[in-house]
Structure 1
Amino acid sequence: MSAKLSLEDITIRTELRPGDIGYITYLHGSLYSREYNYGLSFEAYVAKGMLEFYEQYNPATNRVWVCEHQSKMIGFLLLMNRGTAAQLRYFLILPEYRGIGLGKKLMDLYMDFLRQCQYQLSYLWTTHELYTAAHLYQKYGFHPAEEVESSAFGKTLKEKKYILSLEVARSKN
C-alpha cells in the first residue's frame, strides 16, 4: 500500500455481493481477536447479525457501505432498520486504512441515509475498549445511554449503548 493513500483511492458500494457476508464476518472475527482478544463467540455474533440483516433487507430502509481498495474489502458499515429507529452495526476499518478520513466519510454517509429515511432515532452497541469509535460516534451526536457487564465475546467487558435522537441532531445543524 502506498504511503500516499487517500479517500480517492477507496471505492464505496452500497450493495452486498456473494462472499461479502462471510468475509465481513471473517474480518470482524480476525481483527477483533487480534486487537481486543475477542473469542469465537464474537465472530458467531457477527454471523448471526449479518444473517438477520440479509433476511430482512429492504434497500429503501437498510444500507451497507462496503469500502474497497484495489478490489479488496477494507472497511464496512451497516444501517439496520429497527422500525422507527436505525441500528448502526459492524463498523470496521482495517488498521492500515485508518487515519485518512474514511471513518468520518462512512459516518457522513450513514447520517445522510438516516435523515433520508426519516428515522427518529439511531443507536448502536459497542464496548468500553473501543475509545476511538466512541469518540467518533459522540462527534455525531450519539450519547451513552446504557452500560452492561458482559462476557459474551469470550472475555469480561462492558457493552455500551449509544443513542442519537434525530430531533436533537437536526437542531444542531
Structure 2
Amino acid sequence: MRTTDVKIRTELRPGDLGYVAWLHGKIYDQECGYGRGFESYVLEGLAEFLRDYDPAKDRVWICEDRSEMVGFLLAARHGDAIQLRYFILLPDYRGLGLGKELMQSFIGFMKETGCFKAYLWTTREQEAAIGLYERYGFRLTEEVPSETFGKHLVEQRYDLEP
C-alpha cells in the first residue's frame, strides 16, 4: 500500500457521514470495546454537523482508495475555534503518512480561514493519535472520567492556540 494510491477529497457527498458513523462504530468496538453508546454519540455529532454544514467555515477530508473510504477527518467551526473530530483511518492505512497529511491539511485550513484556535476531544487510550496531535502543537487542557462509551475511561480535551 502506498499513499499515492489514496486520494483525498474535501467535497461532502450524500452517504459519506453515514459511512463515517459505521466505520467508527465498527472500528472502535473492535479495537477499544466501545459499545453502542459511542456509535450514538458519533451519529448525533455528525447529524449536528450536517445540519449546520457551511463549506466556507467547515471542512471534511475523505481518504479514498479505489473509491472506498479508508479515512476521514472533520473540521467544524465553533465561534473563534475549529473542532477537530472523527479522525479515523482503517488499520491497513495507518503508518503510511496519511495521518500527517490530514493534520497538515487541517492546519492549512485553519490558516486559510484565519482561525488560529482549535480543540479536540479524545480518550486517554488513543495514544498513537495523541502523539500525532501533540506533534502539531495540541496540548492537554482537561481530563474527565467517563462511562459514556460502555466502559470506564478518561476523556481528554486538547487545545491548539497561538
The aligned residue for residue 113 of structure 2 is 117
Distance 1:21 1:89 in 2: 12
The aligned residue for residue 33 of structure 2 is 37
* Structure 2 SS opposite 1:152: coil
Gaps of 5+ in 2: none
* Structure 2 SS opposite 1:159: strand
In structure 1, which of residues 6, 10, 19 is the aligned counterpart of residue 15 of structure 2? 19
The aligned residue for residue 141 of structure 1 is 137
The aligned residue for residue 128 of structure 1 is 124
The aligned residue for residue 60 of structure 2 is 64
Scaled by the length of structure 1, the TM-score of the pair is 0.92
Note the C-alpha offset of 1:15: 1.6
The aligned residue for residue 171 of structure 1 is none
Task: Give 2:149's aligned amino acid.
Answer: F
Q: For each residue in 1:15-49, what CA deviation from the matched residue of structure 2 results, as whole angstroms up to 9, or x when unmatched?
A: 22111111100000000000000000100111111
How many residue pairs get aligned? The number is 162
The aligned residue for residue 72 of structure 2 is 76
Task: Give 1:132's aligned amino acid.
Answer: A
Task: Give 1:97's aligned amino acid.
Answer: Y
Pairwise CA RMSD: 0.6
Task: Give 2:19's aligned amino acid.
Answer: Y
The aligned residue for residue 7 of structure 1 is 3
Note the C-alpha offset of 1:95: 0.3
Scaled by the length of structure 2, the TM-score of the pair is 0.98
Note the C-alpha offset of 1:155: 0.7
Task: Give 1:88's aligned amino acid.
Answer: L
Distance 1:53 1:95 in 2: 25
Runs of 4+ in 1 over 4 A off after TM superposition: none
* Structure 2 SS opposite 1:110: helix
Distance 1:21 1:162 in 2: 24
In structure 2, which of residues 70, 85, 88 is the aligned counterpart of residue 89 of structure 1? 85
Distance 1:46 1:40 in 2: 10
Distance 1:119 1:148 in 2: 26
Task: Give 1:148's aligned amino acid.
Answer: V
Note the C-alpha offset of 1:119: 1.1
